C-alpha cells in the first residue's frame, strides 16, 4: 500500500483548524493531501488508541478531552467529550488497556486522570487532578510548576510525568483511586524537562529538556529513574534562543530524534549498546519556522515534521542504516500544527 494516513493537532489561535488529516504517498515520496480532519478548538495534542482518537479540546472557558471514532475511510466521528476543567492540556496518553487517559497541563502544573469506556471510547469521568509544587532558577519559565508530559510506564505499573517548572521527573500510581505520587527524580536545575520516550526494552528512557536543549539518558527500574548521561541537541557555538520540543525513536529502536525550536533543526542520535548510551549523528535543518512535533511513518522510512509558526510540513526520507535524514519537500502546510500522529 503506497498511501499512509495521519493526523496533525494544532492551535486555533489564528488560522489553525484543530485536527488535520494528511496522506503520505510512499511511492511518490510526497505528502499528497492535507485537509481539515475535524474542526475543533485548541486540539494541540492528539493520541490514537486502536480505532479511536483522543484530542485536547478548549471550548470557551471549559477544557478537557474529546474522543473520536476513526472511520474506515480515515474520517472522524465524535463519540463524546468531557470538558469539566478550565485549563487546556498540552499532552495526553491512553493506558494500554484503554481504561484511562492521562493528561499533562502546562499552565497550572497539574496532571489529570480520566476514566474511559474501553469498548465505546467514551470519556466517562474526570477521576483526579494532581498538583505539582516548586520552582526553578529560570524566573521567567520556572516561576511555578509547568507539567509538560505524562505517560504510562512500559511495565504498566506507573505513570511518569515531566515538569518543566520544577525540573522533576515524577512517578505516580494511578487507577480508579486516582493518582498517588511515589518517586521523584530531580534533574539539574534550569534544564526544564519537556518530553520523554522509553527504549523498547523498558530499561532506559530519554528525556528531552526545553530550556537547556539536552537529551538526558535515564535508567528506569520499578518506578525509579537515574540520570546516566546527557548530550546537547544543538551546536555548542549556537548562542541564540532555542528550545527543545519533541523526541521520538525510530521503530527499530536504533536512532533517536529531537527537534529544536529556534535552531530550526532535528538532532539525530544513534542508540548504543542496550540503550544506555547515545551518540550524535547529525543535526539537520527542518525547512520551517519553530519545528514542534514530528513523527516517523510505520515503515520507518519517512519523517514528517510540523512547524507551529509558519505551518510548514516537512517531509524527510530516513536512511535506516545510518539514521540520517534527507529533506524531500517542505511545500505543504498545516497551520499552527504542533502534534503529528500516524495511523
* pLDDT tens per residue, range 251-284: 999 999 999 999 999 999 999 999 999 999 999 9
Cell numbers 526520507 correspond to 317
Strands (E), 108-251: 110-116, 123-131, 147-152, 159-163, 168-175, 178-186, 193-198, 204-209, 214-221, 224-232, 243-249
Q: Which helix (H) or strand (E) holds 21?
A: strand 18-25
Instruction: Answer yes or no: pTM beyond 0.95.
Output: yes
Residue 25 clears pLDDT 80, i.e. is over it: yes
State how far Cα 2 lies from the chain centre: 26
**Distance between CA atoms of residues 89 and 106, nearest Å:** 6
Express each pLDDT in 147-175 by its tens digit. 999 999 999 999 999 999 999 999 999 99
User: Is pLDDT above 80 for 69?
Assistant: yes
Question: Residue 27: which pLDDT band, with cuts at 50, 70 and 90?
Answer: very high
Mean pLDDT of 300-320: 98
The pLDDT score that the predictor gives to residue 274 is 97
Mean pLDDT score, 309-324: 98
- Residues 160, 165, 166, CA angle at the centre, nearest 5°? 65
- 207-220 pLDDT, tens digit per residue, is 999 999 999 999 99
Residue 318 φ/ψ region, left for φ over 0, alpha for ψ in the -120 to 50 degree band, beta for the rest: beta
Collapsed DSSP state (helix, strand, coil) of residue 122: coil
CA proximity to 192, closest of 276, 124, 135: 135
Q: What is the mean pLDDT of the chain?
A: 98
Confidence of residue 73 (pLDDT cuts 50, 70, 90): very high
On whether the CB atoms of residues 259 and 292 are closer than 8 A, the answer is: yes
Into which CATH architecture does domain 44-232 fall? 7 Propeller (2.130)
Residue 1: the pLDDT is: 61
The DSSP output letter for 310 is T
Residue 63, all three cell numbers: 477544557
Whole-number pLDDT of residue 215: 98
- Residue 70 has a CB neighbour count (10 Å cut-off) of 21
Instruction: Tell me how far apart the alpha carbons of residues 98 and 52 are, in angstroms, rounded to a whole number.
Output: 10
Q: What is the pLDDT of residues 98-131, one digit of tens each?
A: 999 999 999 999 999 999 999 999 999 999 999 9
DSSP track, 47-108 = EEETTEEEEEEEETTEEEEEEEEE-TTS-EEEEEEEEEESSPPSEEEE-TTSSEEEEEETTT
| Residue-wise pLDDT tens digits, 319-333 | 999 999 999 999 999
pLDDT (mean) for 245-251 = 98
Segment 133-147 shows an average pLDDT of 98
Contact by Cβ (8 Å): 266, 255 = no
For the chain, give the percent of residues with pLDDT over 90.
100
Amino acid at each position: 500500500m503506497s498511501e499512509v494516513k495521519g493526523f496533525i493537532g494544532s492551535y486555533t489561535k489564528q488560522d489553525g483548524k484543530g485536527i488535520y488529516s494528511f496522506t503520505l504517498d510512499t511511492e511518490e515520496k510526497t505528502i499528497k493531501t492535507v485537509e481539515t480532519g475535524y474542526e475543533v478548538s485548541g486540539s494541540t495534542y492528539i493520541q490514537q488508541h486502536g480505532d479511536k482518537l483522543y484530542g485536547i479540546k478548549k471550548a470557551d472557558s471549559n477544557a478537557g478531552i474529546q474522543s473520536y471514532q476513526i472511520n474506515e475511510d480515515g474520517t472522524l466521528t465524535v463519540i463524546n467529550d468531557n470538558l469539566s476543567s478550565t485549563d487546556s492540556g498540552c499532552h495526553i496518553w491512553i493506558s494500554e488497556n484503554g481504561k484511562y487517559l492521562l493528561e499533562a497541563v502546562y499552565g497550572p502544573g497539574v496532571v489529570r486522570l480520566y476514566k474511559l469506556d474501553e469498548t465505546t471510547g467514551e470519556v466517562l469521568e474526570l477521576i483526579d487532578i494532581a498538583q505539582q509544587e516548586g520552582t526553578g532558577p529560570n524566573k521567567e519559565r520556572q516561576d511555578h510548576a509547568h507539567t509538560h508530559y505524562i505517560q504510562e510506564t512500559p511495565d504498566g505499573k506507573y505513570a511518569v510525568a515531566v515538569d518543566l517548572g520544577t525540573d522533576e521527573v515524577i512517578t505516580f500510581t494511578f487507577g480508579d483511586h486516582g493518582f498517588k505520587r511515589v518517586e521523584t527524580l530531580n534533574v539539574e536545575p534550569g534544564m526544564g524537562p519537556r518530553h520523554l520516550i522509553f527504549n523498547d526494552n523498558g530499561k532506559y528512557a530519554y528525556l528531552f529538556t526545553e530550556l537547556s536543549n539536552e537529551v538526558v539518558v535515564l535508567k528506569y527500574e520499578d518506578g525509579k529513574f537515574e540520570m546516566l548521561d546527557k548530550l546537547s541537541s544543538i551546536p555548542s557555538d549556537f548562542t541564540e534562543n532555542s528550545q527543545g520540543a519533541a523526541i521520538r525513536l525510530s521503530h527499530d529502536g536504533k536512532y533517536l530524534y529531537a527537534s529544536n525550536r529556534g535552531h530550526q533543526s532535528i538532532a539525530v542520535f544513534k542508540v548504543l549498546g542496550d540503550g544506555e548510551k547515545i551518540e550524535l549523528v547529525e543535526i539537520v535543518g527542518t525547512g520551517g519556522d519553530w519545528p514542534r512535533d514530528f513523527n516517523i511513518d510505520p515503515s520507518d522510512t519517512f519523517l514528517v515534521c510540523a512547524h507551529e509558526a509558519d505551518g510548514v510540513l516537512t517531509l524527510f526520507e530516513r536512511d535506516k542504516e545510518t539514521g540520517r535524514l534527507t529533506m524531500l519537500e517542505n511545500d505543504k502546510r498545516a497551520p499552527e500544527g504542533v502534534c503529528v500522529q500516524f495511523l
